[in-house]
Every structure is written in C-alpha cells, then in structure tokens.
C-alpha cells in the first residue's frame, strides 16, 4: 500500500489543500466578478478572497493562467493602462458564456455560502466541540447500533426540533 493513498482522493485532506473550485469553475467566478466591474489581476484575487470570506485565496499562479485562457477564448479583453497595469474587462462573448452558465454559477455561489457558514461555525472552539460531539453520538446510535423505525423517527424529530429552536433564536 502506498503511504499517501488517502491524499490522492483530496476531499478529506486537512487544511487548505482541498480544491475550492472544480474544473472550469474559477473561470465562471472570474467572469462574474468582471461582469460587476472591469478589474486587475490583484483585485480579482482580493475579490475571490472576500467572496470566500478568506477560506480561499487564489495564487497568481492560478489566476494569471486562467486569465490567459479566458483571453484566448475571447471572453475577456486585456488592455495596457498608462501606469503599466493591465486592465481586464469581460467581452460580449464572455457575457454570453456567463449567461449560458448562470445555473452553474448559482450552484457555485450556494456552495461557497454553505462552506462559509460551516467555516464560521468551526472557528469557535466550543461550537466545534459541540458539533464533533453531535456527529460522534449520531454515528454511534445510527451507524453502529440496530435502530428500530420508531427510534430513527425519534432521532429525526430531535434534530428537526433543534433546527427549529435555532431558527427561532432572537
């Protein structure tokens, strides 16, 4: 058995190694951000960091090749400014491609939002402990013991009531 077998699968790896965006998704996010306002590479990096509440900061080594690809497809235009910086703007073709992939963009935004919520919850040590405890108890009761249909129904009821209680907090 290879020593790093689990690392190849990526998803459960610790820290920031997990890919934040799937194949082609960063292109959509960049076009979306450019659609809001023409920009520069550094500003795009900062906007993505803001969008993900600091959970992901793309490196220049990720951003600039993606911008090159978008330019090759004529989805963006890059023009030289007087100060030597390059101004990036979405083209009509880029806007059309973005519109065609709007549903996928919305899925990405929902996933980012869900991850941000989870990230905020896990930052608090007491919340992290409580969530780990909850998962451990559920794992013991549901996955490692024979549950009757009535017991399963009770557990689901408890979870639903807890969710309702949390949603009604002032």
Domain ranges across the chain: 6-121, 125-167
- Per-residue pLDDT reduced to its tens digit, 29-49: 999 999 887 688 889 999 999
Structure-token pair, residue 8: 């190849």
For residue 70, give the nearest of 50, 48, 41 by alpha carbon.
Answer: 41
Q: What angle do CA 63, 39, 27 make, to 5 degrees?
A: 40
Closest-CA residue to 107 (of 9, 25, 5)? 25
User: What pLDDT was estimated at residue 16?
Assistant: 40
What Cα–Cα distance (Å) separates residue 146 from each residue in 33, 157, 159?
50, 18, 19
Of 50-59, 95-104, 137-146, 148-157, the least confident = 137-146
Q: Enter the pTM of the model.
A: 0.60
Architecture of domain 6-121 in this structure = Orthogonal Bundle (1.10)
């Amino acid at each position: 058995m290879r020593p790093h077998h689990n690392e190849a699968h990526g998803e459960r790896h610790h820290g920031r190694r997990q890919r934040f965006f799937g194949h082609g998704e960063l292109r959509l996010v960049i076009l979306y951000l450019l659609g809001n306002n023409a920009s520069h590479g550094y500003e795009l990096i900062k906007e993505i960091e803001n969008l993900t509440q600091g959970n992901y900061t793309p490196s220049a080594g990720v951003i600039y090749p993606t911008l090159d690809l978008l330019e090759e497809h004529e989805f963006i235009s890059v023009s030289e400014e007087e100060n030597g910086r390059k101004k990036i703007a979405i083209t009509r073709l880029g806007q059309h491609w973005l519109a065609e992939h709007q549903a996928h963009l919305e899925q990405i935004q929902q996933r980012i939002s869900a991850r941000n919520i989870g990230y905020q919850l896990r930052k608090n040590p007491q919340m992290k402990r409580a969530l780990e405890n909850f998962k451990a108890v559920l794992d013991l009761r549901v996955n490692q013991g024979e549950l009757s249909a009535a017991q399963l129904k009770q557990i689901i009821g408890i979870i639903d009531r807890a969710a309702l209680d949390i949603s009604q907090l002032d």
